[in-house]
Homo-oligomer: A and B are copies of this chain.
């Protein structure tokens, strides 16, 4: 293999695939990035077995000749060193030449770097994906859905299925659900499915979706998502992002969500978030994060928390609306803050069915986002 390639394009491509490199891998070849050079262009591949990312640079773009190929070929280079070295090379043009035993020379300006490459034949093959079942989502909408749900996945590896986000695809709707036994986040969108297409529910690791989110383009391009039996493939412009589907059955969470409320209120999202944020400062000192909410006769709520060591915070908030019985309820301030942060609405609707029943938070005028928090049992 021998070629020259432009530094900025190579750098960008390396950045994309680097999300799949784990420093903890037990498979030595996976600490590397695979480079394949053909007359069409150069493909980089990285994988940590859970995620695999492939980024393709065409030989020419509309404006620019990116690659000059002298001899096609492949090599695997140590990812961390390759990544840092390319970024620091002095010239815009980088020459990469692979000789016997995958001895690789990188030249740029007056720098010459010799790297011991690895045999690309030893690099695991990417999953074969059958393209029959595909859905298409705008990039920024997918990003928003991930942001609004993935923070609620469980971090406890004893129930692996709960570390993922459930995708339910049916009736021309796509719904994400994440739940860690203390809280639940869900987001639903409309989807145009091809007639007759059927999808089983799938579960994708929350951590993986967060990595995907970093690569998803900001411009509103469309992402093709190919769903196979064990794998999902996200197809972006020049990037392929493969991830495995988590094994197991996701618990039925629909029973958790009350159909009617004993008490309902509407309050400013930012006002409530700020008040809880201040209460959180105290509540975290006792490591409980407990905040208490008391509804008053005068259409206000009092948000408070206290720490035996430090003191007490009390906040009065004006409500926009309240119906039903006045309750006193305690909950985890951190969970409430997480839920409020992803609400894209000025006012939120909170529904209660009793001091020990789930708290349901929704945007005031929409039904497509739902956040659920279980309250704390407290003595006062």
Contact = CB atoms under 8 A, between A and B. Distances in A.
A305 to B, nearest CB: 10
A114 B278 contact: no
A85 B280 CA distance: 10
How many copies of this chain does one complex carry?
2
Contact of A315 (B111, B285, B316): B111
Interface in A73-94: 78, 81, 84-85, 88-90
A245 interface: no
Given A111-B275, A274-B90, A309-B116, A85 B314 contact: no
A6 interface: no
Contacts of A319: none
B111 A81 contact: no
Contacts of A84: 281
A115 B277 CA distance: 17
A274 B88 CA distance: 8
Contacts of A299: none
Interface string A105-129: 0000011111110000000000000
A312 B113 contact: yes
A310 B111 contact: no
Given A115-B310, A116-B311, A311-B116, A110 B317 contact: yes
Nearest to A85: B281
Contacts of A342: none
A314 B111 contact: yes
Most buried by B among A85, A275, A278: A278
Interface of A: 78, 81, 84-85, 88-90, 104, 110-116, 274-275, 277-278, 281-282, 285, 309-317
Given A111-B314, A112-B313, 4 more contacts: A85-B313, A88-B274, A113-B313, A114-B312
